[in-house]
Structure 1
Amino acid sequence: MDLKNMGAGWEALPPMSVGREKFGITYADGKLYAVGGTSWPPGWDISEAKDVLRSAEFLELRNVGAGWKQLPQMNTPRYGVGLVHADGKLFAIGGSLDSKDSYPTLRSVEFLDLKNVDAGWKEFPPLMEAMYGDGVAHVDGKLFVLSGKLRRNREDENHRCECLDLNDVNAGWKQLPLRWKSVKRASVITGDGKLLAIWDFDGNPRAVGELDLKNIGAGWENLTRLTPMEGFRKPWDSVVYADGNLFLFGGILDFSSPGSVECMRVSM
């Protein structure tokens, strides 16, 4: 949607080369990037395993008519991967090798230098612990990862935050204090010198936390608990920070309803 001409409504963009679920997506330098996820085959059955993807692609927003273009494939297929752009590179963080809950999650991290894409994806220092469905951010030269789950089939081992200084990569990832347990999903955004996070404990957005970037050693602080949103039976789709407010969108009632049109505003 063109915010200078909202009356024109939403405009459809070209579809990706493959349908993706629980994939990583980010924006940088006029392009949208999509990596990993899973692809449902035609006539899929929810009980069937899905193909986990290594593929990556991008869409140049100044030339959408050209459609999505392929990037080199990742070294590892990643379901529920965190994707972030930093220093001219794409970082694919964590995820799972398979869509089944019994499969372990990943510690591995890899990156693609957008100035030299032909070199392909390269290995990067692994996380201290495996993470799936994680929220990721790049702020002040540091990568932050907030776990959704450490093990997808273990509800009691899914609470963690790690940080890596891109100016001292060899030092590896460091753990930051985290005050919540049993987090199923996390979204992380930046705002007003802080990282803001939304935690999902049971399919509903439940808590807002903040990390002061001037004092990251103090760890995350609890800002507020959230009242479950009407109609939200599955995790939310998107979180946006604007003008001192958090806006939460999306979520689904069941597999027959594509999504909710509600939003929640949380004044900070």
Structure 2
Amino acid sequence: MEHILHAVRCQYLTPNFLREQMKNCDVLKKVPACREYLAQIFKDLTLHKKPVVKERTPNTRRVIYIAGGFLKHSLDVLEGYNVDEKTWTQHAKLIVPRSGLGGAFLKGMFYAVGGRNNSPDSRYDSDWVDRYNPVTDQWRACSPMSVPRNRVGVAVMDGLLYAVGGSAGAEYHNSVECYDPDHDSWSNVKPMHIKRLGVGVAVVNRLLYAIGGFDGTNRLNSVECYHPENDEWTMVSPMKCSRSGAGVANLGQYIYVVGGYDGTRQLNSVERYDTERDMWEHVSSVTIARSALSVTVLDGKLYAMGGYDGEHFLNIVEIYDPAKDTWEQGVPMTSGRSGHASAVSYHQCPIHCDHLDHNMSLEKPPS
């Protein structure tokens, strides 16, 4: 039995799931060797150790989804870029146009979180959360956040969706809340030390990092790290450059921060944080200085998409190869935009996620 268990990538299960299995599973109670194996994995996860095995990448269609954004007004578009076919495809529109939103895939669904509806006939910051099912090409409304969050940072950790910082009008948030998709509910966690609008977020080894942003007075170079075990934020080494509205994503042990705005100008500089050494270093710059771009990871490369260069809304896509420390041009987006959200889907929505849409109807936008 233990040999079968060793063939499973248990390192990518959540600590809560492992705890429940070790407590309640009758099979594990009868096979001590299996329980001890899972106990060691549980310990490594809670100590935030780097997994000893690589996460399996499904050999299926890979799509980068881009939602919302701003081009003269907030957008309701959802587009998918098929990396293998190098084509962009239009999908079902957002329920409400939004820019400054966050996005992430969780359990096969794409979540669009917060943002601002900045349209000719409507201007308001949003607490809305919508979920897109790639199989049915439909959006569903989820429970809203506790407060509106424009230019919010969004990340997934332990099967939960975290919404970090942002703003509601002139109120800048240091608050953080997390969403449980199985219960369609939000709960607050410990707030950050600093208020952050336009914050970048990333997760490495079950630690959530909040990077840079704007506190209402200054652009920030400070970085905080959230430990879910003790519900605490700790300060780590600051970036070399203060910036808000940067594109942020992680590759392995590194967190990359691309472009942004320093309070005077848009930036083309890129720096990366080594989470194991608590050190920052510069890497090759992007071609065009820009802020309010989105960055996502696919096949071990960074995709930096769109943004604003101080005069124009960009459709440019640049792809970074960390092995060569070089950027190359990708297939541009169908139109320029800034303040959009992006995330990667490797596969269709799992069957076990169908229950997420039960008893939920398509929603109409608020009046």
Question: Same fold by TM-score, threshold 0.5 exceeded?
Answer: yes
With the length of structure 1 as denominator, give the TM-score of the two structures. 0.79
Aligned partners of 1:26 and 1:34 also within 8 Å: yes
Q: Summarize the Cα distance change of 1:95–1:244 in structure 2 as closer, same or farther, 3 Å threshold.
A: same
Question: Within 2, Cα distance between the matches of 1:128 and 1:143?
Answer: 14
Correspondence for 1:62: 135
1:53 and 2:126 aligned: yes
Q: Between the two structures, name the one with larger relative contact order (CA 8 Å, sep ≥ 6).
A: 2
Greater share of helix: 2
Question: Within 1, Cα distance between the matches of 2:84 and 2:303?
Answer: 21
157-166 or 180-189: which moved more? 180-189
User: 2:160 corresponds to which letter in structure 1?
Assistant: K
Q: Which runs of 5+ in 2 are unaligned?
A: 1-80, 326-367
1:205 and 2:261 aligned: no
Aligned partners of 2:198 and 2:246 also within 8 Å: yes
Question: Within 2, Cα distance between the matches of 1:106 and 1:253?
Answer: 26
Of 204, 220, 229, the residue aligned with 1:158 is 220
Aligned partners of 1:32 and 1:60 also within 8 Å: yes
Question: Within 2, Cα distance between the matches of 1:59 and 1:260?
Answer: 23
Q: Summarize the Cα distance change of 1:10–1:164 in structure 2 as closer, same or farther, 3 Å threshold.
A: same
193-202 or 127-136: which moved more? 193-202
Measured after TM superposition, the shift of residue 227 of structure 1 is: 6.5
Measured after TM superposition, the shift of residue 242 of structure 1 is: 5.3
Aligned partners of 1:205 and 1:236 also within 8 Å: no
Correspondence for 2:363: none
131-140 or 196-205: which moved more? 196-205
Correspondence for 2:176: 109
Secondary structure in 1 matching 2:94: coil
Q: Which runs of 5+ in 1 are unaligned?
A: 45-49
Larger radius of gyration, structure 1 or 2?
Answer: 2
| 1:104-151 Cα shifts (integer Å, max 9, x gaps) | 41111111111211xx21111000111110111122111111022122
Correspondence for 2:283: 224
Q: Summarize the Cα distance change of 1:190–1:15 in structure 2 as closer, same or farther, 3 Å threshold.
A: same
| 1:179-226 Cα shifts (integer Å, max 9, x gaps) | 4343132322111321222242355333222222223xx3x3122363
Give the RMSD, CA atoms, in angstroms: 2.5
Measured after TM superposition, the shift of residue 258 of structure 1 is: 4.8
Correspondence for 2:256: 196
Aligned partners of 2:114 and 2:128 also within 8 Å: yes
Correspondence for 2:208: 143
Question: Within 1, Cα distance between the matches of 2:274 and 2:242?
Answer: 23
Correspondence for 2:144: 73
Correspondence for 1:187: 247
Question: Within 2, Cα distance between the matches of 1:158 and 1:104?
Answer: 17
| 1:23-73 Cα shifts (integer Å, max 9, x gaps) | 1111122211011111124456xxxxx201111110011221xx1001001
Question: Within 2, Cα distance between the matches of 1:21 and 1:36?
Answer: 9
Correspondence for 2:155: 84
Question: Within 2, Cα distance between the matches of 1:52 and 1:260?
Answer: 25
Q: Summarize the Cα distance change of 1:68–1:125 in structure 2 as closer, same or farther, 3 Å threshold.
A: same
User: 2:249 corresponds to which letter in structure 1?
Assistant: I
